[in-house]
Amino acid sequence: MLVGNVVHLDPAPAMAEAMIEGWARQQRSRFLKELTIAARVRMIRRFIEFTNQYPWQWTPAEAEEWISSLRSGERSLALSTVRGYEITIRLFCEYLTDRRYGWTQVCLDRFGRAPELVFHEGNSVLHVADYEGTPRRRPLSYDEVQALFDALDTRVDTIRDSGRKGALAAMRDSAMLKFCYAFGLRRGEVCRIDLIDLRRNSQAPQHRQVGSVAVRYGKATKGGPAKRRTVLTVPEFDWIVEVIEQYVTEVRPALAPGSHPALWVNERAGRISPRSVNLAFAGARRECGLDSALDLHCLRHSYVTHLIEFDYPVRFVQEQVGHSHASTTAMYTGVSNEYRNQLIARALRTRLGELWSEQ
């Protein structure tokens, strides 16, 4: 990163920029996304600006002062957000102190100081809980899901009755959010679904062309490629078949998508954006009076919870939603009291037999 025969008039800023660029290259070699790299680089520049010091001048004291200033601001930061900031700074410092890259010796030779780890176990947020999301981010009950879908359908009727434009978009949004729930998809996965991703299931011919959905752009991890999976249509959600068939045969052609492959298209014959999916959910949530803290991902939580309540094995649910670990699926699950009471009643019947039946 450093050119040996070049003498900078102000070497310190040049050294800092070379460090940041070298770290960005290291992350690109791991195939991390450019958006991830850019966000991390912005965080490093933000920390440099706060400390008014260069990376080889940082100490744990500056790091602790920075976190204190963040916590004392007007806007409260989530625990996971603060940990993310600390991890970013620590990763950068680990890169600088790695002997394989030589930054320690160069800094000692040129500035008489070497980079050090400013965040360590003693001044970092510890990860002691499996799930740290807000308690208000939860699965929806069956009644809440129904209320949400009723609000979507009512919006279609309201627009039609008023004679305003937008009925087609409202019908698309209604089908899209029902699709999101019926297959437990992430917002990004919903947007990337194409018509060819709707597949038949030979074991369930009654579901016709909506027997399964091929998710080709699942969430990637650690710079890897997008994960693929096939989500089967379960009998409890087979109502989605008619919803999708009506959308594909009546609504989508009216949006004039031409030869565009996307299943969900906008009014400009382009692929729907994640922001549009969020806005559709937010509008329905507001109209049916749900908590404003609930977001689109609650539909995915609801899908997992309801499959568990339908007595599907955890392993099957895990495969349906594309989780690498069963513990992640467990975090999404929030079964109702009624379901737990049914489990207790079932266990009592099994254990007590006729005596329980008589009671």
pLDDT at 4 over 80: no
Q: State pLDDT tens for residues 212-247.
A: 999 999 887 776 788 899 999 999 999 999 999 999
pLDDT at 351 over 70: no
Chain centroid to CA 132 = 14
Identify which of 193, 189, 204, 314 has the alpha carbon closest to the alpha carbon of residue 244: 193
Question: Contact, 118 vs 62, CB < 8 A?
Answer: yes
Question: Contact, 200 vs 220, CB < 8 A?
Answer: no
Instruction: Please report where in the chains the tokens 């992350």 appear, as a residue.
Output: 27
- Position 343 scores a pLDDT of 63
- DSSP H or E segment with residue 230: strand 229-232
Kindly state the average pLDDT of the residues 87-92. Answer: 95
For residues 155 and 167, give the distance between their C-alpha atoms in angstroms, rounded to a whole number.
8
Helix (H, G, I), strand (E, B) or coil at 312: coil
| % of residues, the chain, pLDDT over 70 | 84
Greater pLDDT, 129 or 118: 118
Q: Give the pLDDT band of residue 133 (cuts 50, 70, 90).
A: low
- Position 194 scores a pLDDT of 96
Kindly state the average pLDDT of the residues 117-124. Answer: 89
- Position 103 scores a pLDDT of 95
Domain architecture of the chain: domains with CATH: 11-111 (1.10.150), 142-347 (1.10.443.10)
- Position 291 scores a pLDDT of 87
List the single range of 109-113, 160-164, 232-236, 343-347 with lowest mean pLDDT. 343-347
Kindly state the average pLDDT of the residues 122-142. Answer: 69
For residue 236 the two structure tokens come to 């409890």
Q: State pLDDT tens for residues 322-337.
A: 887 776 676 666 655 6
- Position 202 scores a pLDDT of 92
Q: State pLDDT tens for residues 264-309.
A: 999 898 999 999 999 999 999 999 999 888 889 899 999 999 998 8
Question: Contact, 244 vs 175, CB < 8 A?
Answer: yes
- Position 346 scores a pLDDT of 66
